[in-house]
Structure 1
Amino acid sequence: MAPQLVDQYGRPISTAALKKEQAAPTMMGVRRPNTEHQASGLTPAKLGRLLRTSLQGDPEAYLALAEDMEERDLHYAGVLSSRKLQVAGLEITVDAASDAAADVENADMIRAFIERDAFETELVDILDAIGKGFSATEIIWETSESQWEPVALKWRDPRWFRFADEDGETPLLRDVGGDQPLAPYKWVFHQAKVKSGLPIRGGIARAVCWTFLFKSFTGKDWAIFCEAYGQPLRLGKWGEGASEKDKEVLLQAVANIGVDYSAIVPASMSVEFVKADIAGSHELYEKRSDWLDRQVSKLVLGQTGTTDMSGSSGYAQAKVHDGVKADIERSDARQLAATLNRDLVRPYIDLNKGPQKAYPKIRIGRPEEVDLEKWMKNVQTFVAMGGKVGMSTVRDKIGIEDPGADEELLVSPGRQAPPADNQEQDPPQPSPRSQPRRAVQRVAAPAAQADAIDTAIDDILAEDGWEPMVGPMIEGLEEKLAAAAGLDDARRILADHLQQMDVEALADRLARAAFAARLAGIGDDELSDEA
């Protein structure tokens, strides 16, 4: 019998529950697609009440307000969208758990899913948690080919969820029959840790809502000012004995004059226009609105340079503030990757392959910027000193794929291209004049035969090559250092030995190797110890 699957919390998995949508919207239940607009008629008292009830287990009204703010405040909508799109557009890589064939196959499954065209849009939906503190995305599984395939990640309205009263952290789905826990392996539940605390208090919207309220008051007053600015004062007068109804008619007539510039009044009444000598300005309203917007930019993006260019100092500052700040972007990306690894990667692998000891990992972020020219020079120096570097490592770093079996290869000038893997080639026969007096051990490079200088280096670095050169130079040094009384004494011994050491063997060997290499290069011949 196959072992019972459990999720990361130890809850058993019901495959029957995975095949149907748990949070589909309903017109008659509590998960209605329509919503009340809490931003209408918002006052400080109403806002305070919404925030308190959200902490008491009923966040529906607060979450509806958070949605209204993204629709009504253009600045908040712009900077929040910029932050979400910045993270959703980062490069996504999948690392296999190991080089084993099974782990590589698991990683390929995840890569195939994230390469779907809809995945970036689904990431934007998951990142809705940045504003509201959390997001719940339902995984739609498809099993028509006896395999579990996540065909879509559906965003679900946060108003349909609340948190358990016991801890304020366990998410529950609202339902007519009572709140339900989220089905295991059915949800990508993402919490954006913008600040520490309960999930309902972790979103940006909770801090922005007060700014939204004050800005709405400023905008309303600004609109009234703009409508009345420059208009003359309309003064209505009524005669003696005018009734209350006559006064209402006069008031309505005076008001209409400001709208359609026409009105009728009884002959016993009159309307006078008083010239408007107003010295007001809209600057106060504009400055207040801009200041509030800058505070929102600091909260959402960590800076104002990309949203308020009036205070920037040119290209240098724009580069510093380009896009989302790196620390915010990196934090959002890592939190998102952790959620996907927990709620998507593991269920996908477990349902198809069973529990694994290790799982592939999704990584989201900017690729590491490497100076390839400097890196290649370091590799060349390292190899020249005898170090070993895998060809696949170099290809991956510079972004070159492995060549095909029948593909024509590029080679260095003066070298012959190696044969293809599927072609046979007789081993080269050495020329009689190229037979060395002493056998020289050589290691052929995979792409081209080692030249004379490479062979000379290998010969000198061999054990029987360097000892005769270095031996005379260090002869007796070990005994002298062993008798040294201290560090200063050892330094004096080294200085004296440096002036007296025998370098004749080293100089002779290097001169012979250089001369032989030059002759081999001129004659296009094998390297020999003999000149």
Structure 2
Amino acid sequence: MPELVWPNGRPMRRSDLTREIAGPTVTGVRQVVSGHPAQGLTPGRLAALLREAEEGDPTRYLELAEEMEEKDLHYRSVLATRKLQVSQLEITVEPASDAKEDVANAALVEGFLERDELQEELCDILDAVGKGFSVTEIVWETSERQWMPARLEWRFPQWFQFDRRDGRTPLLRGDAGPESLLPYKFVLHIHKSKSGLPIRGGLARAAAWCYLFKNYDIKDWVAFAEVYGQPLRVGKYHPGATEGDRKTLLKAVANIGSDAAAIIPSSMLIEFVKADQTGSVDLYERLAEYLDKQTSKAVLGQTLTTEVKEGSRAAAQVHDGVRDDIERSDAHQLAASLNRDLV
């Protein structure tokens, strides 16, 4: 009997379908512990990791995309809104024909889709909206001599990469090198928000610069708020003051704002100069709001549903229409991936 092979030429083995292929490892390349590139992120470092991603190593970019969802509450909110809106849509299954077998197959698929876990699994698959792609492993149930998906297990996107030759073929990272994905074992969802390479299609890539500049803005805003309204503290020392005397005075000037008391030599003096607050004190807030609006436009296609401000009913309806278009597109892309890899 000739040996059965997958479409990629790899021998077909039952054991490949009955075990988890892309699970985590303790010491290998697929570990659940990841890096934190958002720490100390600068424009130069951000540009470098974005280039790494399109050149075939998306690890740091994908780690940053995950951190963005954890640290930027606005980005997390609008991205979750987009994913949840699609994952909660009602799913219908249409038989290929009126034939008895096709109707029975449709009923079988409907039974699987009625599982309580499906919404969470769809939300995991829609992780591709932010990162550009997602890979979910199908864990098969083979009891009672029938094959049924038991669950859909989300896998860390850092455990995958794209073939450097075309930038489109996904590969599973392994200790022996990257491997092709086996058919009938994975649901590959590539979210297409723009034309080009899949790794460049995620919304995290578009929102990364707003995330970086907002981080700078918030940091400066907090520093500004810490000293806002406080007078400028000036310490004066006589020409013969020693290095130790100057350090003592500097420490007293630095701490007097919080301690409200200080001890210095009688030969030194601390003066308070009234702070000039004629400038615009809401600059930081306006910049943060502007960056949040740009993120909302990128993720939701509009800002009206995230910003509670005066607006006409007609404007709200137009913005909702744009959002409906995005919802339909996301739903069609998700349905195509499920029909291809699962149904």
TM-score normalised by L of structure 2:
0.94
Aligned to 1:230: 229
Aligned to 2:264: 265
Q: Shift of residue 323 of structure 1?
A: 8.1
Match for 2:282: what amino acid? E
Match for 1:338: what amino acid? A
- The 5 Å alignment of 1:3-14 reads 4=4, 6=6, 13-14=12-13
Give per-residue Cα distances to partners, 1:259-292, cap 9 Å, x unaligned: 3334333343332222224223332222221111
Of structures 1 and 2, the one with the larger relative CO (CA 8 A, separation 6+) is 2
- Which 10-residue stretch deviates more, 277-286 or 49-58? 277-286
Q: CA RMSD in A?
A: 2.0
- The 5 Å alignment of 1:42-121 reads 42-121=41-120
Residues of 1 paired with 2:323 and 2:2: CA distance? 48
Paired residue secondary structure (1:145): helix
Q: Is the 8 A contact 2:187 2:341 kept in 1?
A: yes
Q: Is the 8 A contact 2:29 2:173 kept in 1?
A: yes
Aligned to 1:18: 17
Which runs of 5 or more structure 2 residues have no equivalent in the other structure?
A: none
Call closer, same or farther: CA 1:138–1:323 in 2, change over 3 Å.
Answer: farther
Q: Is the 8 A contact 2:37 2:64 kept in 1?
A: yes
Give per-residue Cα distances to partners, 1:329-378, cap 9 Å, x unaligned: 11111110010011111xxxxxxxxxxxxxxxxxxxxxxxxxxxxxxxxx
Residues of 1 paired with 2:236 and 2:302: CA distance? 56
Q: Does 2:175 correspond to 1:176?
A: yes
| Structure with greater Cα Rg | 1
Aligned to 1:400: none
Aligned to 1:325: 323
- The 5 Å alignment of 1:237-316 reads 237-313=236-312, 315-316=313-314
Q: Is the 8 A contact 1:222 1:282 kept in 2?
A: no
Aligned to 1:370: none
TM-score normalised by L of structure 1:
0.62
- Which 10-residue stretch deviates more, 316-325 or 22-31? 316-325
Give per-residue Cα distances to partners, 1:63-105, cap 9 Å, x unaligned: 1111111111111111111111111111110011111111111
Call closer, same or farther: CA 1:195–1:16 in 2, change over 3 Å.
Answer: same
Question: Which one of 341, 344, 364 corresponds to residue 342 of structure 2?
Answer: 344
Q: Shift of residue 311 of structure 1?
A: 4.7
Aligned residues: 343
Residues of 2 paired with 1:304 and 1:186: CA distance? 39
Paired residue secondary structure (1:188): strand
Call closer, same or farther: CA 1:331–1:168 in 2, change over 3 Å.
Answer: same
Q: Shift of residue 324 of structure 1?
A: 6.4
Q: Shift of residue 137 of structure 1?
A: 0.7
Give per-residue Cα distances to partners, 1:291-342, cap 9 Å, x unaligned: 11111111111111101231522x4433443386222111111110010011
Call closer, same or farther: CA 1:130–1:222 in 2, change over 3 Å.
Answer: same
Q: Shift of residue 6 of structure 1?
A: 4.2
Which runs of 5 or more structure 1 residues have no equivalent in the other structure?
A: 346-531
Q: Shift of residue 173 of structure 1?
A: 1.4
Residues of 1 paired with 2:192 and 2:255: CA distance? 53
Residues of 2 paired with 1:229 and 1:21: CA distance? 57
Q: Shift of residue 4 of structure 1?
A: 4.0
- The 5 Å alignment of 1:108-257 reads 108-257=107-256
Paired residue secondary structure (2:144): coil
Q: Is the 8 A contact 2:50 2:61 kept in 1?
A: yes
Residues of 2 paired with 1:3 and 1:338: CA distance? 31
Residues of 2 paired with 1:323 and 1:88: CA distance? 19
